[in-house]
Every structure is written in C-alpha cells, then in structure tokens.
C-alpha cells in the first residue's frame, strides 16, 4: 500500500464542539468587530455574536430542540447566518443548510429527508419557504427580518454551556451532496469532523486575530462554511459578508477592507484575470488567492495571480471530507496542483478497477482517510458502504496523480457529478425529473466543458411524444434551481447503456461533445 502523508506533523485535535472552538476565537478580542454586513456596513462584535448565539440556543432549548433535532437554514451570507448555525449547534441540534435559490420543490425534498422541525429563512425567500413546508415535519418558519415569527422571537435566556453532545458521533450539520453518483444525500458531519478540519486548515491558512477577508462563498456550501465561517471566526479573524457575488461590489469591498487572502472559485478567477473593471480598484493588500470547489487550470491561475499581485494556490475537498483534504502551500505552489495532504490525513491513489495502489506519477482514484471523513449518508447505508471502505478510506470519485513530492493533480472524475460554477449538479436528479414527463421516454444528462462555468448540464432525450428543446428546458426550469438548468438538448434514438442498465456517458461524450 502506497500512502501519501502531509509534510506537516500531525496536530492535536481538541475534544470540544465546533461552537466551543468558535468561542475560543471570539474571546481573543471580545470588543473587536468579527462580522460586517457587506451590503449595509453594519458590524457585530465578537461579544455580541457570542451572546446572540447563546440566546438563540436558550430559546431553541425552551422550544424543545435538543440532540437530534433538526433546524433548516435557508439564507445567503449575512451575519445572522452564524448566529443560527452556531445557536443550533450550541443547543445540541443539527443544522441542515439549504441553498436559498432552490425552488419550493427542491426545498421540500430536503425538508422531508432531513425531518427538520424549524425552518429559518430570510424575508426574500419566505414565500418559497411557506410553499415548501406543505406536507413536511416543519412546525415553525422563523424569518430573519419581518414575519409572523422572526428570528428575534426565537431568542431566549442565554444557554451558558454547550448542550451535551457526543463529539464523535452526533451530527452537527447535514449539508447535501450527490457523492460519487446518484441523487443528493444528507452528509452527516459531526462536531469532531468540523473541529478537525478547522485545525487541519491552520497548517496552510492560519488567519490572524483581526485579519479580514470577503465572504461571498456561500456558507450553506461546505467550502464557505468551514474555510471561511468557522475557520476565520475560530481564530478571531473577521468576515465581510456578501449575499451574492457581484464583481464591482466585491472589488469595492476589497479596496475598502484590504484583505490579505481572497477565497474564490474558478469563474471568479476568470473574471479577476480578464475583466477590465479589476484595474479600477485598489487590490494591493492581496498577497494570496485561494481557489477551490473545482479544478483551476494552471494558465488561468497564473493570469489571475499576476493580475491581483498575489500567489495563486488551490485546494481540494468535498462535502464528505468536511471538506478540505489537500492545499497548495503558499511558499511552494505548483501550477495546476490541488495541493499536499493536510495534517492527520492520508491519501492513496487506487486503480478503480483492480483496487491496486498506483505508484507516484501514475493515475488512479483518490482515496482519503482522516478525522474529517464524514459519518456517512443519512438513511443510506448502501451509499455509505460504497463510498467508505471498512478500514475508513473515503473513495472520492476523482481521478488524480500524486507526484514524488506529494503534490496532487486532479485529472478527471470517475463520478458522474457535474460542477457548474463550483456547485454540484447530479445527473441522476435531472434525469429523474426528465423521465417524469409524459413525452420523454428516456434521458441522460452530462456535463459539457465551458470556459466560464467549468461545466454546463446538457441532456440527451428519447421522445415518446411531442416535445421540443424549449419544452424540455421549460420542464426543468419550473422545478429545479438556476444552476441545474439545461444548456443544450439533443434528441437521440436511444440512450447507450451497459448490460446492467448503466448509462454509458462516455459514449455520448465521444459522439456529441468530443
């Protein structure tokens, strides 16, 4: 067995909850502002945030929320996102994070699967929330802002101590991921998973007390949740939140708040490298740009770094890894590399067919083992067993090469997942919706390379009735969120499949995509 380890020594992972770890950072400078609303400019001090988290936890406890109780959080990046996330965690409950741009249909599916009792939402998405809860276990909608029940109504007497939790096993957050195949599944992450990954990231990031970055990467996504929200606040650093990415506003905030490190995704790297607006703003404070969520080509990375005046580094991760397993060091970056293994983690490169280990420089599937590996998929033992081996190795579904120095380079995916601007699109989810249409007999969905988005979803349709491309797109448009929309529709006589019925996407790719 060929095992690649981190060049950094293993670290001690404290036996505390993720919110206790957060409070350690907040207590470094109680009067310092740690959250700034990038839209309004309003700030929240560390002491105020800690008090608000404890008051929400107290109120939720008084309402009966305890261990195993699930609160759904459907909001963009705002300071009170942190309040809700950690208020639930401090009360011993579980947060399931929902993309606020989801349709009511998508929200309902996640509410049903997670069995959430409370849904916290911002006012702009309250109508979607009210439609989505029909037929679910949700008893209360709490609106951040104005509503029949507001977030303020949930606040109570402060809960002064962390509610009793099993750090290793109790689930603190339940984000949804498609994994290596199939429909979105609840990824069960424990307090220890999150604390471990915050500490593992320190070997490569380690923001200092008071250091600022601009947080547009959504906190509902595991990248923004761990690398920005939890990591920065756990070190007493400061976040300026953006509810959505807008290039001009982002550059303005960079000029105003002077971050040293920017955390981005490949489509933003493209904008920073090529958009003429970049030169109109001061970004001289930036000395590092960190890109994740999808692979970034070496040439684009170099162009972005040259434009911004900093070093470009990449990271690799997935929701099932809490999420970070590899990061490129700032003192020795390599173009196109996704990084070195983080401390306390091990990596292997395994032939996906023979399950034999590959030597340095040889291609295979990346396997990872460490304290950041998820507990499993909610209610889906079969998918869990397919993803995590008996001895704890998580099969990522990504083909990679690890060189003699331990640098990992992603080549392509074994898994069927499409990455649109860093967001997961599961072909199986779109296919299930498509074949539900009376005029569609069969369907296959795959990703097509795109310079701006990384990949865009396209569909291959076998008709059983009258329907055109516009009709196919309209069917998906009414049911799924914007990043899951089809960009092309091809009508075919049949969908190529194996003897076992598995869609042969590579055949379609060779025929139609190239």
- Taking alpha carbons only, the member of 480, 449, 21 closest to residue 230 is 21
Full DSSP string of 285-312? T--EEEE-SS---HHHHHHHHHHHTSEE
Q: Residue 148 above 80 pLDDT?
A: no
The answer to whether residue 7 is domain-embedded is no
Residue with tokens 């949700």: 138
Burial (CB < 10 A; 0-12, 13-18, 19+), residue 502, is exposed
Per residue in 319-340, pLDDT (tens digit) is 999 999 999 999 988 888 999 9
Domain of 469 in residue numbering reads as 419-513
Given a cut of 80, whether residue 304 has pLDDT beyond it is: yes
Token pair for residue 281? 């703003």
Total Cβ atoms within 10 A of residue 146: 8
Comparing 301 with 164, the larger pLDDT belongs to 164
With cut-offs at 50, 70 and 90, classify the pLDDT of residue 365: very high
In a domain, 401, yes or no: no
pLDDT of the residue at 498: 72
pLDDT of residue 335: 83
- The CATH code of the domain that includes 439 is 3.30.300.30
pLDDT reported for residue 282: 97
pLDDT digits (tens, 9 = 90+) for 35-46: 999 999 999 999
Model confidence at 514: pLDDT above 70: no
Q: How do residues 109-133 score in pLDDT, each as one tens digit? A: 999 999 999 999 999 999 999 999 9
* Cβ atoms < 10 Å from Cβ of 308: 22
β-strand partners of 449: 455
Give the side-chain half-sphere CA count within 13 A for 75.
27
Answer yes or no: is 357 within a domain: no
Q: Which of 89-98, 326-335, 378-387, 397-406 has the lowest mean pLDDT?
A: 326-335
3-class DSSP string for 322-351? CCEEEECCCCCCCCCCCEEECCCCEEEEEC
Phi, psi at residue 448, to the nearest 5°?
-115, 130
Query: What whole-number distance in Å separates Cα of residue 133 and Cα of residue 112?
Result: 9
**Structural domain contains residue 144:** no
Q: Using the structure block, give the residue that is written with the tokens 């001061």.
A: 282
Contact 242, 215 (CB under 8 A): yes
Instruction: Summarize the confidence of residues 279-290 as an average pLDDT.
Output: 96
Please state, for a pLDDT cut of 70, what percent of the chain lies above it.
99
> Is 487 inside a domain boundary?
yes
In 347-367, which positions are buried (b, 16+ CB within 10 angstroms) versus exposed (e)? bbbbeeeeeeebeeeeebbbb
Q: What pLDDT is recorded for position 509?
A: 83
Q: Look at residue 500 in the predicted model and tell me its pLDDT.
A: 62
For residue 271, how many other CB atoms are within 10 A of its CB?
A: 18
pLDDT at 406 over 90: yes
CA distances from 469 to 54, 322, 420, 429 (A): 52, 39, 21, 19
- 482 assigned to some structural domain: yes
Q: What secondary structure does DSSP assign to 257-274, as a single string?
A: H--SEEEE-HHHHHHHHH
Range with the poorest average pLDDT among 74-78, 149-153, 237-241, 295-299: 295-299
**Which tens digits make up the pLDDT trace of 228-258?**
999 999 999 999 999 999 999 999 999 999 9
Number of domains in the chain: 1
Query: Which residues are CB-contacts of 76 (< 8 A; sequence separation ≥ 6)?
Result: 100, 122, 218, 243, 244
Minimum mean pLDDT among 136-140, 203-207, 314-318, 321-325: which range? 203-207
Q: Band of the pLDDT at 507, cuts 50, 70, 90?
A: confident
For strand 140-144 and strand 171-173, is the pairing parallel, antiparallel, or unpaired?
unpaired
Q: What is the DSSP string of 215-243?
A: E-S-TTSHHIIIIIIIHHHHTT-EEEE-S
Domain-located, residue 501: yes
The mean per-residue pLDDT over the stretch 399-403 comes to 96
Q: List, for residues 180-202, the tens digit of each pLDDT value.
A: 677 899 999 999 999 999 999 99
What is the model's pLDDT at position 112? Answer: 98
Q: What is the pLDDT of residue 119?
A: 98
267 pLDDT band, cuts 50/70/90, is confident
Q: How confident is the model at residue 170 (pLDDT cuts 50, 70, 90)?
A: very high
**Confidence band (pLDDT; 50, 70, 90) for 384?**
very high
- Of the candidates 224, 166, 189, the one whose C-alpha atom is nearest the C-alpha of residue 322 is 189
> pLDDT: is 309 or 156 the higher one?
156
Asked whether residue 442 is assigned to any structural domain, the reply reads yes
User: At residue 501, does pLDDT exceed 90?
Assistant: no
Average pLDDT value over all residues in the chain:
94
Q: What is the dihedral of CA 497, 503, 507, 513, to 10 degrees?
A: 150
């Amino acid at each position: 067995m060929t095992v690649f380890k981190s060049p950094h020594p293993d670290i001690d992972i404290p036996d505390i909850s993720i919110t206790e770890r957060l409070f350690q950072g907040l207590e470094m400078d109680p009067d310092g502002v740690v959250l700034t609303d990038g839209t309004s400019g309003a700030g929240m001090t560390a002491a105020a945030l800690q008090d608000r988290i404890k008051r929400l936890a107290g109120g939720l406890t008084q309402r009966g929320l305890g261990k195993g109780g699930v609160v759904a959080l459907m909001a963009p990046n705002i300071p009170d996102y942190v309040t809700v996330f950690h208020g639930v965690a401090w009360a011993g409950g579980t947060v399931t994070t929902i993309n606020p741009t989801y349709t009511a249909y998508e929200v309902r599916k996640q509410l049903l699967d997670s069995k959430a009792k409370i849904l916290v939402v911002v006012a702009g998405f309250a109508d979607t929330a009210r439609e989505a809860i029909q037929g679910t276990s949700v008893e209360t909608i709490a609106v951040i802002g104005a509503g029949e029940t507001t977030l303020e109504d949930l606040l109570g007497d402060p809960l002064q101590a962390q509610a009793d939790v099993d750090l290793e096993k109790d689930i603190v957050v339940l984000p949804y991921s498609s994994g290596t195949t199939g429909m979105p599944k609840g990824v069960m992450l424990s307090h220890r998973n999150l604390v471990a990954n915050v500490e593992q990231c320190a070997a490569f990031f380690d923001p200092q007390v008071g250091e600022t970055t601009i947080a547009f990467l959504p906190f509902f996504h595991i990248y923004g949740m761990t690398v920005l929200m939890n990591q920065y606040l756990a070190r007493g650093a400061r976040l300026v939140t953006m509810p959505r990415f807008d290039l001009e506003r982002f550059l303005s905030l960079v000029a105003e708040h002077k971050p040293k490190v920017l955390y981005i995704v490949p489509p933003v790297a493209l904008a920073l490298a090529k958009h003429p607006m970049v030169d109109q703003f001061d970004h001289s404070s930036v000395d590092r740009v960190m890109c994740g969520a999808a692979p970034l080509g070496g040439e684009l990375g170099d162009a972005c770094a040259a434009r911004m005046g900093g070093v470009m580094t990449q990271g690799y991760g997935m929701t099932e890894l809490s999420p970070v397993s590899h990061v490129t060091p700032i003192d020795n970056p390599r173009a196109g590399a996704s990084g070195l293994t983080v401390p306390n983690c091990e990596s292997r490169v395994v032939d996906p067919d023979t399950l034999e280990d590959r030597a340095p420089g040889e291609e295979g599937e990346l396997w990872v083992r460490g304290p950041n590996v998820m507990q499993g998929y909610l209610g889906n033992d079969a998918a869990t067993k397919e993803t995590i081996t008996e001895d704890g190795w998580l099969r990522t579904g990504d083909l990679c090469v690890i060189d003699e120095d331990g640098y990992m380079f992603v080549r392509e995916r074994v898994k069927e997942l499409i990455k649109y601007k860093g967001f997961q699109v599961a072909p199986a989810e779109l296919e299930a919706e498509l074949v539900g249409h009376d005029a569609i007999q069969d369907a296959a969905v795959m990703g097509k390379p795109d310079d701006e988005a990384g990949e865009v979803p396209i569909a291959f349709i076998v008709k059983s009735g009258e329907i055109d491309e516009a009709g196919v797109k309209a069917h998906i448009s009414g049911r799924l969120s914007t990043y899951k929309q089809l960009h092309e529709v091809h009508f075919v006589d049949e969908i190529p499949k194996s003897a076992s019925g598995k869609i042969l996407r590579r055949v379609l790719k060779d025929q139609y995509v190239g």
